[in-house]
Chains A and B, each alone.
Chain A
């Protein structure tokens, strides 16, 4: 079981390593990331904070593109080009294949996040040296923010694979995943606005809205950027909660994806 998973993961990694589109994305991200200090220095008041916020957003944009690209390519393109047939007729189950693919993509996203986040961390710290006002930037909180950002994309990756299972074209997976991302990022504001006057609504309604928010999913739960930028104390309970939420949610989506993949005709 583990041997098969390891093999599948390795196979998938090898494929991504040869992917030119992947390397060009990574190149562009690196280039932009190294340019953030220059832009941040233009902001006279808090270069380090600006640098962190800017590079953090940049890394996230890259992770989003990467998740959508890799997650939707992994299955739908392989199904379309029929390269999946020789692989899936080897003696393992489709659920193993899907899990192996998820692991491989998660590893790629993890490695990219590690590289880019450490560059973001180093440039922010370097900028902080020149600006006493930025003393508030907290490394601990920054690490938490990076880790939770990663969790968010691993959850989105599960969604990307889920959409990819149904389709042979890129259309549904790409726009489905982006749709989930947008919904997951925007709903919190809507819900906050809706519930700004809780007295107007019944308890049941409020509960329903909250449940829906977490089903959509709620990406706000993974947003710890503010704590890092302003050196606020990290709310550890929220971190643990978000981790548990991300893990459970990804598992459920992957399970659903497997369920559908087992029934799919090649």
Chain B
């Protein structure tokens, strides 16, 4: 495995023409690094510029300004994608080909030897629960199956770096859990994962680093724990059962939680559950993104 920083973005700016003479600034001076062996979650509201960043990293579009590098190589070099597994947002494949044919092609393009290829394909199909559909044309796949095939396409050559654009979009709860497991496994094997998502809880469960963008600007770039510490006070939902057997729900601030629990004990009530109302990361996320919204209104 190379010792190069897997992802480097420096001062990326990108604008699209929307109407005549009007431009949308999709990225505005975006810089960040993803270090070897980390799982970095890429959070942002719709239209924040996540997919744009990822498209620049995979050389589908060019930034107007700035430099992007994968594994120490400029993204315009095809070799920069040699150790990369990439899942596009809503992937789409030639629909007359079968899942196996598509993976065969991707595997050989990544340089998997001919005799090792069939096994690699079967293994990755099985890992994503697609073994039964291997020889069906993709035309007959459901949305979630195509998404799974996209993940298989990204994983077929056992890449050192995974860039996934909304990996769990279109997946059932089992599939979402599978994606989290895959990300955890890849991390344990020393791989680097960079994935975009809207689902804050996914980020909290698997990431050790978080990058938040909004309106094309980086709003936060920090380890998960640091961000969670920054969260302001959250709410807790407390369920208590009084001696008569009636249950009652209370919504309390974190600072008041201790007092509420103590009081319940004094009244001989049973505390059934204490649940945080929203996660710490979610509060940070909402705060960072919301302050921005007021900016625009002015």
Interface size, chain B (Cβ < 8 Å): 32
Contact of A86 among B59, B108, B110, B150 (CB under 8 A): B150
**In the bound complex, what is the Cα–Cα distance between A263 and B102 (angstroms)?**
26
* B96 contact set on A, CB distance < 8 A: 15, 18-19
**In the bound complex, what is the Cα–Cα distance between A236 and B216 (angstroms)?**
64
Stretch at the interface among B1-9, B31-39, B87-95, B178-186: B87-95
* A114 contact set on B, CB distance < 8 A: none
B93 touches A86 (CB 8 A): yes
A83: CB under 8 A from chain B? Answer: yes
Contact of A91 among B90, B97, B109 (CB under 8 A): B109
A4: CB under 8 A from chain B? Answer: yes
Stretch at the interface among B75-83, B206-214, B241-249, B252-260: B75-83
Complex: chain B residue closest to A6, CB-CB: B108
- A7-B109, A266-B55 given as contacts; is B92 within 8 A of A89 (CB)? no
B88 touches A90 (CB 8 A): no
B60 touches A88 (CB 8 A): yes
**In the bound complex, what is the Cα–Cα distance between A78 and B82 (angstroms)?**
23
B106: CB under 8 A from chain A? Answer: yes
A129: CB under 8 A from chain B? Answer: no
B222: CB under 8 A from chain A? Answer: no
Complex: chain B residue closest to A92, CB-CB: B78
* A247 contact set on B, CB distance < 8 A: none
* A96 contact set on B, CB distance < 8 A: 78
Complex: chain A residue closest to B77, CB-CB: A93
**In the bound complex, what is the Cα–Cα distance between A86 and B82 (angstroms)?**
14
B interface footprint on A93-109 (CB within 8 Å = 1, 0 otherwise)? 10010000000000000
B106 touches A86 (CB 8 A): yes
* A263 contact set on B, CB distance < 8 A: 62
**In the bound complex, what is the Cα–Cα distance between A90 and B84 (angstroms)?**
8
* B59 contact set on A, CB distance < 8 A: 89
* B153 contact set on A, CB distance < 8 A: 86
B109 touches A92 (CB 8 A): yes
Complex: chain A residue closest to B80, CB-CB: A91
B61: CB under 8 A from chain A? Answer: yes
**In the bound complex, what is the Cα–Cα distance between A14 and B81 (angstroms)?**
25
18 additional contacts, CB 8 Å, given A91-B84, A266-B61? A11-B105, A14-B97, A14-B101, A18-B97, A82-B90, A82-B91, A82-B92, A83-B92, A86-B92, A86-B153, A88-B60, A89-B84, A90-B106, A91-B78, A91-B79, A91-B82, A96-B78, A265-B60
Interface residues of A, Cβ cutoff 8 Å to B: 4, 7, 11, 14-15, 18-19, 78, 81-83, 85-86, 88-93, 96, 263, 265-266
* 26 A-B pairs in the complex with CB atoms less than 8 angstroms apart: A7-B108, A15-B97, A18-B97, A19-B96, A78-B94, A83-B92, A85-B88, A85-B91, A86-B88, A86-B93, A86-B153, A89-B58, A89-B88, A90-B81, A90-B106, A90-B109, A90-B110, A91-B82, A92-B78, A93-B78, A96-B78, A265-B60, A265-B62, A266-B55, A266-B60, A266-B61
Interface residues of B, Cβ cutoff 8 Å to A: 55, 58-62, 78-82, 84, 86, 88, 90-97, 101-102, 105-106, 108-110, 137, 150, 153
* Those 7 A-B pairs whose CB atoms lie nearest each other, nearest first: A18-B96, A266-B60, A91-B81, A265-B61, A90-B109, A82-B92, A91-B82
